[in-house]
Amino acid sequence: MSHRVATHHPEPILIRVDGAEVTALPGEMLASALLAADQPVFRADLEGQARGMFCNMGTCGECFVTVEAPGRPARRLRACLVPVELGMVVRRG
Amino acid sequence: MFDLAIIGGGPAGQAAAEIACAAGLGVVMLDEQPRMGGQILRQPPATLGVRDWLPGATYDDLKAQLHRSEALDGLDWRGGVSVLGLFRDADGFQLLATGRDGRLTIAARRVLVAAGCYDMPTAFPGWTLPGVMSAGGVQAFLKSQQIVPGKRFVLAGTHPLQLLVADQLRKAGADVAGVHFAQGLGAMVGQLLRDPLLPLGNLRPFRDAAAAFVNLRRAGVAVRFGQRLVRAIGSERLEAAEFADGTRIACDVLATCYGFLPQADLPRQAGCAMQRCERTGGLAAVIDRWQRSSVQGLSAAGETTGVAGAEVALREGRLAAIGILLADGLLSESEAERRAAPIRRELAKLQRFADLLARIADPRTAIAGLADDATILCRCEDVTRGALIRAIRATAGPEDASALKLVSRAGMGVCQGRSCEHAVRALLAEQGAAPGGGFTARFPARPVAIADLID
Amino acid sequence: MTAVDVLIVGGGLTGCATAWHLAERGASVMLVEAGELNGGASGQNAGSLHFQIERRFLENGPALAEQASRVLALNRLAIQDWRALDQQFGPAMEIVMHGGLMVAESDAEVALLERKAAREAEFGVPTQLLDGAGVAAIAPYLSPGIRAATWLADEGHANPRTITRLLAARAIESGAEVRSHTQLSDIGRSAIGFQVTLASGEGREQVRADRVLLATGAATMRTGVLFNLHLPVFPAGLTMTATERTAPMIGHLVQHVGRRLSMKQAESGNILIGGGWASRLQRGDIGFDLSRPATIDPEALRANLKAAADTVPGVAALNIIRSWTGIVALTADQLPLVGAVSRLPGLYVAAGGSGFTLGPTFARLLAAEMAGERGGDGELALFSPDRFDHLNGFMG
């Protein structure tokens, strides 16, 4: 179970991940919000096996998710490089 | 049009920017991260309050440079931007990039690639389980995202960075079950003592590792040597790490630390001459004494030219900028040499320690035989070591990395070969083939949506 | 000195397939490839199996289109050859022939489609002209702006990354010798056929061959020089792009009659986009340097991707993960250069003209001809290298 250690932070915001509400901190990366919400699985591989974070710096491609920020078209993005936004809708693959 | 585009906001890029901006050049700096700092100084989001970010004398100079760079007059900073490719034109380069607001084209007379490095992905049975992460990735969750990314941590590998990461985890209140070096302690200390150029006063990186070691031992965290990680165990998530002597340690995060590979996508795509890193098999840009690559107008500094740490990177950044000022006629030859001389002296000393660290941290013995035939080597396309061997040994089978990629699909996934190329080349060499130059580096250097390229 | 019945130069699709056919007939065959098998256009193309008249033949006016429709006879044969390969090799080649559409949007494009369909009917290629509703029924993934299309049920795609090596393996199993990283360095005439010097990492070797087939694709002009011949084959770099894997979206080969566009979804799920957009070849001291990778032209890529997103709107949100160049062989009149070179008895050439789609057919027909079998229908007569014999009248 991951936990946050920042000394202070702004009011949390809500995003949706696969239809469920997830609490996130403005400014943190989507990957962090998912880990903090005890959601370490980001996708299933070609054999159907669960996969999670690996490099956390945009090189390994494990954390691609479909992201729709309000008013913007859906994109497949690396969760470790997407700062969360209020009302973001995320679908994992 | 900018005079200089710097790709990478870490120590090398910052150091170059300081000198270039001071000389009046128009400089743009791009990085995938939202804030300057690179990986070593990967900053928390501005929204989060952080107590005592990156404490320790090691970071003081780097943090001071970061703060100066963020305030630099004449530096145009673009965070959250991925550079997809570099295209030459009559005036210099067009950089094609993408960010939150779509496509970005930047024209610059000169380009400095200071794109850093990434943890070398090391394959072993179970390494694709959720919970197995690179030590650098775990460290970034901690220092940048202010999150302890799990409950119980095991660290394993060959690189002393894992001592620092373990200590940082411990300080953040994490349960660290142990740090495990595949190398024997005697072997590591032996390397250290055998070096005749060892002036004890300049051993900052070793002091940091030693201090971390002491802290961990004092806190009751095991640091084991001669303990080779062999397997990650779990059904849907990581449950335990297993070592060569049969020891199993329950954990939900296994942070692996076997060394680093240069980020070389852009120099390779631009056609720069590259050289192979001996111990990791990564590819680094070849540069001259002014950090110039084999492509006119394109310089490289820092880990992109070979992994040697932040202090070396910073000084290479300075040399690169001085070289650019010299090439632009803003400095005379003698003035440039005068400014470069002390930097070169420092570099020579630092490079010796970097080489010593590389010898101590050599991962090759630990990695040999780690993956079995069922182990996935290409994470993106689920290509196992066994499938690659079958492809190599097939009648009329491929003999180099590009041909093996084509037939096996290793390297054809969304990570674009970054996680498996070194392993594929090592496997070819092991099977008696000459691996050749690696996969051909292609545009785009990062995945990008079609919609973002056509508007 | 080793003596073989046939020496094949070039380890792409046509070379390996011909080696297989000849070896199966009991001929002694050696194939040499300068680099890796399948390392050229055979392995770099996007795998289209296109049997309708290609757009490139419609681009340069009616006279060329007239000539080009002669390729249609070969296309009819190619359909059967690909079905045969599918039967013989099974899923390993990923041959999918579920139909292809060439689409039109404007009035002029629709008119062009109608003329094309008429010509195809003349040559027995059974394309069907569909209106907007008909297209939408078959291919709902297409943009609503598509007003018509010619449909051909046999079109589709196959996997260019694996096919050549599968054929080479069969050739080896049938007794052929295949050597990669081996170049032709010198040619001499011998009493029957040719005396060839091969150069490889292991040194030089002389081989005698009754017959030689040049199947060297974009390098054919250079290979011709070794035989003191002008072979009018020119390299062109074509850009292709692959998206990430995605759920099934495009079930057919899609081409556009009015724009340079070709799209398909491979069995792996990646969508492959091409259609004839140019990469920039590197300049050498003399001519183009094909040993250095061609560079992508960002404007050409942009236009290619725009055509793709306009035609199949669903691809716009997908990420591309690689763009690359296949260097194809373009002949002086855009038609294949296939058959015997009468000026040099025993020498054969196969280059140009949709080498992937037509490769298996070239190989089958050439193998029969090289094995001395009579009774072919002269399908290759139109593509004889002798049509350029005037270029070699003063070569001694």
Q: Where are chain B's structural domains? A: 2-118+261-331, 121-258, 371-430
Distance CA A27, CA B35 (A): 11
- What are the residues facing B86 on neighbouring strands? B95
Q: Are B233 and B126 in contact (CB under 8 A)?
A: yes
What's the number of CA atoms in the CB half-sphere (13 Å) around residue B9? 30
Question: Among B47, B169, B412, which would you mutate to test the A interface (most chain A Cβ atoms within 10 Å of its Cβ)?
Answer: B47
- Three-state SS for B154? strand
Which stretches in chain B have pLDDT values below 70?
A: 196-203, 435
Q: Which two tokens stand for residue C241?
A: 């792009």
String of DSSP letters for C15-44: HHHHHHHHHHTT--EEEE-SSSTT-SHHHH
Q: Which two tokens stand for residue B267?
A: 């120099």
Instruction: Give the model's pLDDT for residue C142.
Output: 98
Q: Do C320 and B412 touch (CB under 8 A)?
A: no
To the question of domain B2-118+261-331 being in CATH 3.40.50.720, the answer is no
Q: Which two tokens stand for residue C287?
A: 């001519």
Q: Which two tokens stand for residue B207?
A: 């002091």
Residues in chain A, total: 93
**Residue of chain C with shortest Cα separation from A75:** C317
To the question of domain B121-258 being in CATH 3.50.30.30, the answer is no
- Identify which of A26, A59, A61 has the shortest CB distance to residue B413: A61
One fold for B2-118+261-331 and B121-258: yes
Q: What is the pLDDT of residues B418-427, one digit of tens each?
A: 999 999 999 9
Buried-state track B383-419, b at ≥16 Cβ within 10 A, e below 16: bbbebbbebbeeebbbbbbbbbbbbbbbbbbbbbbbb
Q: Are B4 and B108 in contact (CB under 8 A)?
A: yes
Q: What is the pLDDT of residues C175-201, one digit of tens each?
A: 999 999 999 999 998 777 999 999 999
Q: Do C318 and B450 touch (CB under 8 A)?
A: yes
Give all domains of chain C, ordered by start, each with its CATH number. 2-42+162-232+333-392 (3.50.50.60), 97-155+234-331 (3.30.9.10)
Instruction: Give the model's pLDDT for residue B226.
Output: 97
Q: Quick one: angle between helices C355-370 and C13-24, nearest 10?
A: 30
The pLDDT mean for chain B works out to 95
pTM of the model: 0.96
Interface confidence: ipTM more than 0.85: yes
Which chains lie within 8 Å of chain C at 3 or more CB pairs, if any?
Answer: A, B
Residues of B in contact with C316 (CB under 8 A): 449-451, 454
CA C201 to chain B, closest CA, distance in angstroms equals 12
Distance CA B351, CA B353 (A): 5
What Rg do the C-alpha atoms of chain B give, in angstroms? Answer: 22
pLDDT (tens place) for every residue of chain C, 396 residues total? 899 999 999 999 999 999 999 999 999 999 999 999 999 999 999 999 999 988 777 766 677 667 666 788 889 899 999 999 999 998 999 999 999 999 999 999 999 999 889 888 888 888 999 999 999 999 999 999 999 999 999 999 999 999 999 999 999 999 999 999 999 999 998 777 999 999 999 999 999 999 999 999 999 999 999 999 999 999 999 999 999 999 999 999 999 999 999 999 999 999 999 999 999 999 999 899 998 899 999 999 999 999 999 999 999 999 999 999 999 999 998 889 999 999 999 999 999 979 999 999 999 999 999 998 876 678 899 899 999 999 999 987
- Identify which of A4, A10, A58 has the shortest CB distance to residue B146: A4
Residues of B in contact with C292 (CB under 8 A): 271
CA B127 to chain C, closest CA, distance in angstroms equals 23
What Rg do the C-alpha atoms of chain A give, in angstroms? Answer: 13
Residue A93's closest CA among A48, A44, A39, A60?
A: A44
Q: Are B69 and B36 in contact (CB under 8 A)?
A: yes
